[in-house]
Amino acid sequence: MILHSSKTVFIVNPHSGNGKTGREWPRIKKLAEGILGTFEAYITAGPGDATVLTRKSLNRGVDLIICVGGDGTLNEVINGFFDNNEPLHSNAVLGFLPNGTGCDFPRSFPVCSETGPALESVKNGLTQAIDLGRIRFRNHQGTPCVRYFHNIMSCGLGGEVVERVNRTSKAFGPFFTFIAATLTSLFKYKKKTIKIGIDNGRELTKTVLHIAVANGRYQGGGMFVAPDAVFNDGLFHVTVIDSMSIPAVFRRLPYLYNGKIKEIPQVFTTTAQKVSLVSDEKVLIDIDGEQPGVLPAEVEMIPAAINMIMKS
């Protein structure tokens, strides 16, 4: 065991997974006490709480933060590890007990999806340094913001899908929730023209359906948008889906789930450490399943930025 239990904090989002986490927390807490011993737990009440609680915990010397929730909660916790673009506690470790709607991160990173084995992994203490993305963008009030992300930042259709998902019921589970939002958004979406800058050199302007700047491989409850992405190669895997007709989208939809997305003629892929995205139109962005703002955006890779508990 790598850490003292007195320096372990759980950050719990009871609303994740359409309230599933809140219902299961008493069982998870009892199981965690049996495996890890004494710890502190904080229950979030609303957006941003997980970031604030994580930051406060790290500032008073906590060594291990365990996030209980979905990808959105994990994103908030990760942002709590940083302040003024600097890590608060370089030796701190992050654990994750997935319990959300999409939970795309565990599809790419070796973390246990079941609570018991996940807690045993925390006890065993095997860690992996993973890369993070850092994005500068504008929120809906026009204020410049900086945010870190562990999985995928996307824009275009992805931003509109997430905006729709987050204001509708998630009771039917991740696949049906996201596929329904995707199909509805497809019929309402107006193609966006976006200027894409790659590593401060190459530039291209495209009328796009969707752009994903990926650290992980999946988004939207299992959409396989970046089949070659890994969390520790120091590179984003960028997928650009050009504009296409609705019938063409439906013909190609299976490719979004079977790992063959690069076989679609309208798909362009590349790798990069920095990506800029600019448009004269209003383009919604998605950051790890949340919809916090709009383009323009500057995205940069931060290699080996955080230590995470992995499956042992």
- What pLDDT digit, counting tens, does each position of 8-48 carry? 999 999 998 888 899 999 999 999 999 999 999 999 999 99
As a whole number of angstroms, the distance between CA 146 and CA 292 comes to 11
Task: Name the residue ranges covered by the structural domains of the chain.
Answer: 5-125, 133-304
Residue closest to 180 by CA, chosen among 190, 192, 167: 167
Report yes or no: 1 and 49 within 8 Å, Cβ to Cβ.
Answer: no
Instruction: Please state the rounded mean pLDDT for residues 287-293.
Output: 91
**CATH architecture entry for 5-125:** 3-Layer(aba) Sandwich (3.40)
Smallest CA-to-CA distance from 66 within 94, 86, 42 is with: 94
For residue 175, is pLDDT > 70? no
CATH architecture label of 133-304: Sandwich (2.60)
Closest CA to 70 of 108, 106, 43: 106
**Residue 123 structure tokens:** 């006890």
- CB 4, CB 93: distance < 8 Å: no
Host H or E run for residue 175? helix 174-188
CB 307 within 8 A of CB 109: no
Residue 237 CB-half CA count within 13 A? 20
Q: Which residues contact 202 (CB under 8 A, 6 or more apart)?
A: none
Distance of alpha carbon 241 from alpha carbon 244, whole angstroms = 9
pLDDT of res. 163: 76
Using DSSP, state whether 19 is helix, strand or coil. Answer: coil
Q: What is the mean pLDDT of the chain?
A: 90
Question: Is residue 157 within 8 Å of residue 285, measured between CB atoms?
Answer: no
DSSP, residue by residue, 221-283? TTEE--TT--TTSS-EEEEEEE---HHHHHHHGGGGTTT-GGGSTTEEEEEESEEEEE-SS--
Q: What does the DSSP assignment read for 208-226?
A: EEEEEEESSSEETTTEE--
- How much is the average pLDDT of 92-111? 87
Tell me which DSSP letter residue 284 carries.
B
**What is the C-alpha to C-alpha distance for residues 206 and 194, in angstroms, rounded to an integer?**
6
Segment 148-166, tens digit of pLDDT: 999 999 998 878 777 777 6
Three-state DSSP at 130 gives strand
Kindly state the percentage of the chain with pLDDT values over 90. Answer: 69
Measured CA to CA, the distance from residue 39 to residue 8 in angstroms comes to 5
SS3 content of the chain, % helix, strand, coil (to 5): 30, 35, 35
pLDDT at 4: 39
